[in-house]
Amino acid sequence: MYIIIFGAPGVGKGTQAKILTSRLDIPHVSTGDILRDAAARKTELGLKAKAIMDAGELVPDDVMIGIIRDTLNQERCAKGFILDGFPRNINQAAVIDKLFTELRIEKIVILALEADDEEIVSRLTNRRACKECGQIFSIREIEEISNCPNCNATGSFYQRNDDKEDVIRRRLAIFHSSTKPVLDYFEGKRVILHIDGLKPVDAVSEQILEKLNNLNF
């Protein structure tokens, strides 16, 4: 099964992608991960992307789609994948749609995780990370402890810049103006499953799996 996981920042795309990759036995293709992998393997496109990122610039669509093409052509993606982090705008949607046609990938499902903006802001501003291991916790999970439950570091909890309210609201504004129209682009072209992203993690996973099982592929 070929899946694009889609939704606003903080809605839980990465969490659900990791669960689904285990349950469905298909790889999680995160654009951040494949960029780092391509750079580490020193592929031509990977080195080009690394130079661009090191300069603090965004990787252009032609380089990004080339790296995605190389990844989707790998044997591990032959039976399916979960694409996370692309497309982020209508232009990228058109490019990836063309790539799917080129690679003869037809049975594509878009999982649209949905949540109210204010709930996302509340969820993310109540997160804290450990400086030592990078594990993320809700304030409720750590409010009565001083040691990280994952690595036992003391006094290591902090709020990441990405979890500050002003940053979150800017990211949400970009999502609504640039990324959300991607769903309109795919409407009628691909199967779109709308998922309530505010339920508990396990409930969201079961909701996704039930809807996927009901597809007539």
CB atoms within 10 A of CB 22: 11
180 included as an active-site residue:
no
- Set 88, 123, 128, 190: catalytic member: 88
DSSP label at 12? S
Give the SS3 label for residue 54. helix
DSSP label at 58? P
13 included as an active-site residue:
yes
- Set 18, 36, 69, 160: catalytic member: 160
DSSP label at 154? B
128 included as an active-site residue:
no
- Set 36, 127, 180, 211: catalytic member: 127
123 included as an active-site residue:
no
23 included as an active-site residue:
no
CA pair distance 123, 53, nearest whole angstrom = 29
- Set 13, 48, 128, 190: catalytic member: 13
Given a contact cutoff of 8 angstroms between Cβ atoms, the answer to whether 63 and 45 are in contact is yes
Contacts of 55 (CB under 8 A, 6+ apart): none
Q: How far is CA 101 from CA 96, 142, 216, in A?
A: 9, 48, 20
**Main-chain phi, psi angles of 153, to 5 degrees:** -65, 145
- Set 171, 180, 199, 211: catalytic member: 171
Given a contact cutoff of 8 angstroms between Cβ atoms, the answer to whether 32 and 64 are in contact is no
Q: Check whether the bond before 87 is cis (ω within 30° of 0).
A: yes
Give the SS3 label for residue 201. helix
Catalytic residue numbers read 13, 88, 127, 160, 171
